[in-house]
Amino acid sequence: MKRIVFCGFRGTGKTEVGSLVAQQMGLPFIDTDQLVEEKTGRSIPSIFSEDGEERFRIHEREVVADLPATDVVVATGGGAVIDPVNMEHLRPGSVCVLLTADIATIERRLAQKPRPPLTGLPLSEEIAELMERRRQYYYAAADFCFDTGGTSPETAAQAVLALLKNGTTTLTQRKTAMDFFRAGRIPAPALAALEKILIAPDRDPQTRILGVAGYPAAHSRSPALFNALCSRYRINYHYTWFESPDIQQIMQVARETDAKGLSVTIPFKRDMMDHLDEIGDRAAPRIGAVNTVVFACGTAIGYNTDWLGIRKPLVPMKGATAVILGAGGAASAAAFALTDLEMKVTILNRTPERAQELAARSGCGWAEWDAFDRIKPDLVVNATPLGMVPDTQSPLRDDQLKKEMTVFDLVYTPPVTPLIETARKKGCRTITGIEMFVQQAREQFYLFFGIDVPETVVRELVS
């Protein structure tokens, strides 16, 4: 038996619907707000007004960490799932149900049982602002979504029980998806896993899928990494390959199988922008590409985590002089990361017009390829595929590398490229493409599931 966790904004019916579901299933029901009140002997409004929200969150974190692991229905407080530590405790072995409702309904419900204000805003504005701020976290927590606006708690409870029993997809949709997966170059064990999840008579309707969208996608290390992470955190998901030359078909299959999300790779990072309902961060529109799609409550939201993977290891180099080699998607993410760190960036590219175009939209400079020596950069970022297997070339001559330089090669197959090898021989500080992969994958997992995986764990899994 699993643990069922209800999450969502206050006033969406978590307590009412959760307790009815528990009753129907013959399971105990726990409300984390009530546990906080019992533990402290005080009401939540008094904790908020006397000690502040931060103190309440500490109490909440303690009760979440102590929840029973199984055979229970839990209703969480409206802000509980924002905390990645709470998610690390809530997710293992659980199915998480996100309840939603429109602002007017929530306002009407909250008016009947006053709660402490979380901002100084009028109630409807507070609801709108907090819901927007928290949406990413609610979507990360959502295995199933149900809109309780316009329904009674009894109807909502029946609908949630039906979702848990049957899932959200039809057999026809899943059979069509299976044909799609069979047409891609997916390893046999992964195809067998998909058959079990999608079309086997004894399938678990609560198992969901997600995957990497690309063409080709077979080279991707994401399936191995994400499946290992799902096992580690006991999350009932399977990560696979959405491989097709047709992005529209990929999105259709993802929506029809109620996929949780997609990692996006070549050649779709740019085109994917046209297949989304929304963009979820400030970076993606500036970079002009997304590498992550999260599906929840019928909406596809795109994000870019590539730039975060480039930025993280370069934080100590704020303000440096940098050269980016290349002017494609990865170079665009690098330009955003480096300018965010206030670096003086020059873009060099085989096709100078593309360097010029990227420079103009990213606030960087550009130059002809042979300007490298004149610039004397502190940092070189290789964002071309030169050095990627089976290619053994380096984008720079050996004599162009100086020991004072930091060399970051975004290529990660092989982990030690010819450029990195030479840079190490010259005594340069080097950063491999694996580092970018690790950091961007951590950010992606956080967007998919709300858990902040330690760097050491991801590094160990990809090594």
Tell me the longest C-alpha to C-alpha distance in the chain. Answer: 74
Q: 403, 382, 378, 377: which is closest to 393 by C-alpha? A: 382
CB atoms near residue 133 (< 10 Å): 12
Kindly write down the DSSP assignment for every residue of 368-399, as one continuous string: -GGGHHHH--SEEEE-S-TT-TT----SS-GG
CB of 81 or CB of 386, closer to ligand NAP: 386
CA distance 409 to 417: 8
Who's near 192: CB < 8 A, 6+ residues apart?
none
Starting at the edge strand found earlier in the chain, the sheet holding 208-214 runs: 237-243, 208-214, 261-264, 292-296, 299-303, 278-279
Asked if residue 409 binds ligand NAP (CB under 6 A), the reply is: no
The residue from 14, 260, 269, 312 that is catalytic is 269
Q: How far is the CB of 237 from ligand NAP (least distance, A)?
A: 21
Restricting to residues 238-267, which ones interact with ligand NAP according to CB under 6 A?
266
- Contact in structure between 204 and 197 (CB atoms under 8 Å): yes
Q: Does 330 bind ligand NAP (CB under 6 A)?
A: yes
CB of residue 228 to ligand NAP, shortest distance in Å = 17
Closest among 259, 266, 295, 267 to 280, alpha carbons compared: 295
Rg (CA), the chain: 24
What would the two tokens of residue 169 be? 């997809």
Angle between helices 455-462 and 433-449 (to 10 degrees): 120
- CA 139 to CA 17: how far, in whole Å? 19
Residue appearing with tokens 């002089």: 321
Q: What is the DSSP letter of 221?
A: S
d(C-alpha 128, C-alpha 142), whole Å: 19
From the list 296, 324, 327, 447, which residue makes contact with ligand NAP (rule: CB under 6 A)? Answer: 327
Q: Which stretch binds ligand NAP (CB under 6 A): 116-124, 126-134, 231-239, 348-356?
A: 348-356
The smaller minimum CB distance to ligand NAP, of residues 276 and 396, is found at: 396
Amino acid at 118: L
The CB-nearest residue to ligand NAP is 328
**C-beta closer to ligand NAP: residue 73 or 379:** 379
Nearer residue to ligand NAP within complex by CB, 86 or 349: 349
The residue within the footprint of ligand NAP, chosen from 296, 331, 348, 431 (CB under 6 A), is 331
Identity of the residue, 145 or 333, whose beta carbon is nearer to ligand NAP in the bound complex: 333
Any contact of residue 352 with ligand NAP (CB under 6 A)?
Answer: no
Q: Does 396 bind ligand NAP (CB under 6 A)?
A: no
Of the ranges 83-91, 130-138, 201-209, 320-328, which one interacts with ligand NAP (CB under 6 A)? 320-328
Tell me if residue 210 falls in helix, strand or coil.
strand
Instruction: Tell me if 412 contacts ligand NAP by CB under 6 A.
Output: yes
Backbone angles phi, psi at 428, to 5 degrees: -75, 155
Q: Is 440 near ligand NAP (CB under 6 A)? A: yes
Least spacing, CB of residue 445 vs ligand NAP, in Å? 14
Contact flag: residue 418 with ligand NAP (CB under 6 A): no
By beta-carbon proximity to ligand NAP, the closer residue of 257 and 432 is 432
Closer by beta carbon to ligand NAP, 105 or else 394: 394
Closest separation in Å from C-beta 329 to ligand NAP: 4
List 362, 384, 417, 444, residue binding ligand NAP (CB under 6 A): 384
> Is residue 385 near ligand NAP by the rule CB under 6 A?
yes
The Cα–Cα gap between 170 and 167 comes to 9
Structure tokens at 57: 């969150």
d(CA 252, CA 239): 17
Residue 347 contacts ligand NAP per CB under 6 A? no
Does 165 qualify as catalytic in the annotation? no
Q: Is 351 in the site for ligand NAP (CB under 6 A)?
A: yes
Among 383, 428, 451, 461, binds ligand NAP (CB under 6 A): 383
How many angstroms separate the Cα of 129 from the Cα of each of 8, 102, 110, 125, 328?
14, 13, 16, 6, 36
Question: What is the 8-class DSSP label of residue 215?
Answer: S
The answer to the question of residue 354 lying near ligand NAP (CB under 6 A) is yes
Out of 8, 313, 329, 377, point to the residue binding ligand NAP (CB under 6 A): 329
Least gap, CB of 391 to ligand NAP (angstroms): 8
Q: Could you tell me which stretch among 21-29, 278-286, 315-323, 346-354 binds ligand NAP (CB under 6 A)?
A: 346-354
Q: Tell which residue, 377, 270, 282, has the closest CA to residue 331.
A: 270
Stretch of residues binding ligand NAP (CB under 6 A), selected from 31-39, 176-184, 430-438, 449-457: 430-438
Q: Are 310 and 257 in contact (CB under 8 A)?
A: no
Q: CB-wise, 12 or 417, nearer to ligand NAP?
A: 417
Q: How many residues bind ligand NAP (CB under 6 A)?
A: 25
Angstrom distance (rounded) from CA 361 to CA 167: 44
The residues annotated as belonging to the active site are: 269
Interacting residues with ligand NAP (CB under 6 A): 266, 306, 309, 326-331, 349-351, 354, 383-386, 388, 410-412, 433, 436-437, 440
